[in-house]
Amino acid sequence: MKKVFTSCSLGDAYCVKALLEAEGISSMIRNESLLQGQATIDGHPSVWILDDSLLDAAESIASRYGSGECSSCEESWKCPKCGELHDPQFTTCWKCGADRPEKQ
C-alpha cells in the first residue's frame, strides 16, 4: 500500500477516494475515526492505494484534487480569521466563531 493523499478533512479524503475509484484504482482511508476523537499517531485522514504499481496515476489524481478540480463533492473551506479547515456542512468556524466566507 502507498499513501497518496493526506488531509485535515475527512470529506477531502473521501473525495479523493471517489476520484481514484472513478479511475479504477482501489483505495482505502486510514484515520477515518479522527472525527470521533480517536486520532492516531499520524493524525490526519489519509488515502492509500492498494496496488503500488498505480502510484503515479494515483498521485496525479490526488494532486489534481489538490488544485481544486474536484467536482464530485462540496469544497471544504478555510477560516479567514484563524486558518482552520472545515468540512462543507459547517457554516461557522468551530475554533474562533467566524462566519464562513462567501464563495468567490
**What are the C-alpha distances in Å from 10 to residues 43, 53, 54, 61, 88?**
11, 25, 23, 17, 11
Of the pair 60, 101, the CB lying nearest Zn ion is at 101
Interface with Zn ion in residues 51-80 (CB under 5 A): 79
CB of 79 to Zn ion, least distance (A): 3
Q: Which of 4, 15, 54, 93 binds Zn ion (CB under 5 A)?
A: 93
User: Residue 6 has which C-alpha cell?
Assistant: 493526506
Q: Which of 43, 81, 99, 101 binds Zn ion (CB under 5 A)?
A: 81
CB of 83 to Zn ion, least distance (A): 7
Between CA 76 and CA 23 the distance in angstroms is 23
Q: For the chain, how far is it from start to end, CA to CA, in angstroms?
A: 37
* Torsion angles phi and psi, residue 10, rounded to 5: -65, -35
How many residues of this chain interact with Zn ion, rule: CB under 5 A? 8
Is 39 among the residues that bind Zn ion (CB under 5 A)? no
